[in-house]
Amino acid sequence: MMATLALERRRSAESPDEELARLVRRQLELLGEDVDREGLLKTPERVAKSLAWLTQGATMNVHDVIGDAVFAESHENMVMVRDIELYSLCEHHMLPFFGKAHVAYIPNGRIVGLSKVARVVEVFARRLQVQERLTEQVAEAIEEVLQPQGVGVVIEAVHLCMMMRGVEKQNSRTITSALRGKFRDCPMTRNEFLSLAHGVGSSRSVAV
């Protein structure tokens, strides 16, 4: 009883990072590891820090990254940022999935700094995710901030949970897309976007 109380008291004084590190240490024990061997001594703290960093997007939203980088502009053609590198964690296995995002929109009086588009992808990637939701969230965020005539997002990624375990499909890529406004309703816009997204630089080449 006394021991339990002492333990409770120690735990309540722990920071979330310390608590996470303690749980990682326990996880290692349950996996049959000798947690006191040299290589593992600092692993619990490293894993805790790394997980906190990889999921930091969960407490952020699109306004945190875009800030005031929205500008009035009468340009009405498609703006596209291709090949945005992305790294995320699948929420089913907490294993990485990674690949590229292609994001395009047609302005409706407002544009955003191009580097901010990549930051939007990052914010939604740095949390426990599924690729389908990540794709929708990026499209929704661009729509919310710019209220463009349309927005299109294509993400192609490989999932370590598929490659390292289970079906071990090592060459399969998952491709998801979210199309809104003109990208959904206007076949020409949609085709132009999809050709650009799947075209130059990807392993498939599509004649545009």
* Among positions 22, 82, 93, 173, the unique one binding Zn ion when judged by CB under 5 A: 93
Among 92, 166, 201, 206, interactor with Zn ion by CB under 5 A: 92
Q: How far apart are CB 165 and Zn ion at their closest, in Å? A: 9
> Least distance (Å) from Zn ion to the CB of residue 125?
14
The minimum distance between CB 137 and Zn ion, in angstroms, equals 18
CB neighbour list of residue 31: distance below 8 Å, 6 or more residues apart? none
Instruction: Enumerate residues 6+ apart whose C-beta is below 8 A from 119.
Output: 65, 66
Question: Minimal CB distance to Zn ion: which residue?
Answer: 161
Least Å distance between CB 46 and Zn ion?
A: 22
- Binding flag, residue 133, Zn ion (CB under 5 A): no
Catalytic residue ranges: 90-93, 131, 159, 161
- Nearest Cα residue to 153 out of 172, 128, 173, 181: 181
Q: Which stretch binds Zn ion (CB under 5 A): 88-96, 104-112, 172-180, 181-189?
A: 88-96
Contact flags string 147-176 toward Zn ion, x per CB under 5 A: --------------x---------------
Q: Does 63 bind Zn ion (CB under 5 A)?
A: no
Kindly tell me which of 47 and 161 has the beta carbon lying closer to Zn ion. 161
* Choices 1-9, 54-62, 80-88, 89-97; region in contact with Zn ion by CB under 5 A: 89-97
What are the distances in angstroms from CA 88 to CA 15, 28, 84? 25, 23, 13
Considering the complex, what minimum distance in angstroms separates the CB of residue 161 from Zn ion? 3
Binding-site ranges for Zn ion (CB under 5 A): 90, 92-93, 161
